[in-house]
Amino acid sequence: MASALEKTASPGDAEKETVTELLESSKIGVQEKILKHSHDADAAMKAFEQYDGQSLELTPETNKRLLRKIDLHLMPILCVIYGLNYLDKTTLSYASIMGLKLPPSDNKLQSGIGISGSQYSWLGSMFYFGYLAWEYPTNRLLQRLPLGKYSAFNIIMWGLVLSCFAAVENYAGAIAIRFFLGLFEAAVTPGFALFTSQWYTKSEQGTRTGIWFSFNGFAQIFGGLLAYGIAVGCRKTGTLIEPWKIVFLATGLLTTCIGIIFLWAVPDNQMNCRWLSKEDRILAIERIRVNGQGVGNKHFKWYQLKEALLDPLSWAFFCYALLADIPNGGITNFFSQLIVGFGYTPEESLLYGTPGGAVEIVALIAAGWAGDKYGHRILISFSGLIVAILGMILIVALPLSNNSGRLAGYYLTQASPTPFVALLSLISSNVAGYTKKTTVAAMYLIGYCTGNIIGPQTFRQKDAPRYVPGEITIIVCWCVCLVDLAFIHWYCKWQNKKKEQIRNAPDYVKLENQEWLDLTDKENPEFIYTL
């Protein structure tokens, strides 16, 4: 019991006091010592100081009303931005078959920057080098700076950077743009995971994460139709600038405009939310008390960093992201060329890629909803990955002449993100302690970046049009991912049993406002891991 729950310490303290030590020293002085270190607790603690000794009643009706209000104001903007996040980094795939790879020419419909197949692969990877380089620093800034404002800054900047791709004239310029695009987009996924944990209860997080992540699929549909319309329009009527440049300008400027709306619409947390009344702000915090995680803490805690690096769950998350995103990196950057390899024209590939987005939307929303409803996010997410493996087997096994069968296989592979999204939502639900949460999110996305850097390199020009080595690599990676998911499920279940034994001990006492002490999931016996 002595090590069951440790009270958070200020960054300069050499040791942390355990709850047992606090109780033994003076039961009367426990709350006094909590208040002494309240500057190191979660920001929610300050919000409740004025209600000391008063009870806050959150009725089911009030909770339902608040949830509707939060959904109405947050979910649409999160969904649109996340869709643009996917669209902007995959615009390169559309541009690759709209003239980007062609040599420079006086003909605006047939002029590019003149890059080889291997250079295109490195362009795909370079985005993730920028992402990787800035992932941990941006997670620290997400903790340290106002969450809403810092996220908006990055959204606006990546839109402007993407627009600059229209001015690129050579490979070096394209490499620089892709690097900075990755750098600014590095804040989006961890930031949105923090928004989700900050505003929603554990039982709501899986569905919401699935919804905003599913807009990758909507972006794939929108992007394919947009690129197809631009390609056909330019071919029929001509254009003053190259079609691929129009795609970059359209998507980049759209992102910048939505980023400005995000800056105005999305608060940093409940305490400075303009669309909630003063009373509703407190109740919005009260409704997430059950998470045991609070709403944010700006203090960096070395012991939480150490715990994150020593926790097997953190490394299981990292390994999944690494292995799952080797396939993602290959498919994301080469899906248009894959479809061309199935026997379709470049214009047809822009159009025929869109149904894959619909598959992703249905898979993510269905898996997120079912995972929250039945309490088994990890096990339910297995289904999407199994469907994706079957799809890739179809692509590898069917002959080149079977265009429709191989295209159907590609559509099935778009169900593959379901476990990735489930684990992303589990970082919101199952990792507590703000420093630890941002560290684990950074590790997860560092794995994501590394996988996406490797992925495009498995699709070599000499293997076209089948790309069999890359496709077999994808199947192997996904099979190993199934084993990793099984370990994560078992580990969380085992930890819950250990915590239940601690809570049932006769000398166990829960501290008042324990939920707002910025405790980690490991040190808080009240914390229950979502499965």
Residue corresponding to tokens 């002449």: 401
Q: What is the pLDDT of residue 478?
A: 95
Instruction: For 251-266, give the DSSP string.
Output: HHHHHHHHHHHHHHH-
- Cα–Cα distance for residue pair 474/108, rounded to 1 Å: 37
Name the residue among 339, 322, 316, 336 with its Cα closest to residue 244: 336
Q: What is the pLDDT of residue 38?
A: 44
What fold characterizes domain 75-270+294-503? Growth Hormone; Chain: A; (1.20.1250)
Name the residue among 35, 30, 37 with its Cα closest to residue 301: 37
Q: Cβ of 526: how many Cβ atoms within 10 Å?
A: 16
Q: Cβ of 37: how many Cβ atoms within 10 Å?
A: 16
Q: Can you give the residue ranges of every domain in the chain? A: 75-270+294-503
Q: Cβ of 237: how many Cβ atoms within 10 Å?
A: 7
Name the residue among 195, 293, 284 with its Cα closest to residue 526: 293
Omega before 355 within 30 of 0, i.e. cis = no
Name the pTM for this structure. 0.80
- CB-based contact 389:478 (threshold 8 Å): yes
Segments of the chain with pLDDT less than 70: 1-56, 106, 294, 296, 333-334, 465, 512-513, 515
Q: What is the pLDDT of residue 7?
A: 37
- Cα–Cα distance for residue pair 355/311, rounded to 1 Å: 40
β-bridge mates for residue 6, sequence order:
18
Q: What is the pLDDT of residue 18?
A: 40
Name the residue among 431, 501, 430, 432 with its Cα closest to residue 1: 501
- Cα–Cα distance for residue pair 282/299, rounded to 1 Å: 22
Residue at 183: amino acid letter: L
The runs of H, that is alpha helices, within 398-416 are 403-413
Show Cβ contacts of residue 171 under 8 Å, excluding neighbours closer than 6 positions.
113, 114, 115, 119, 123
Residue 462 DSSP symbol: G
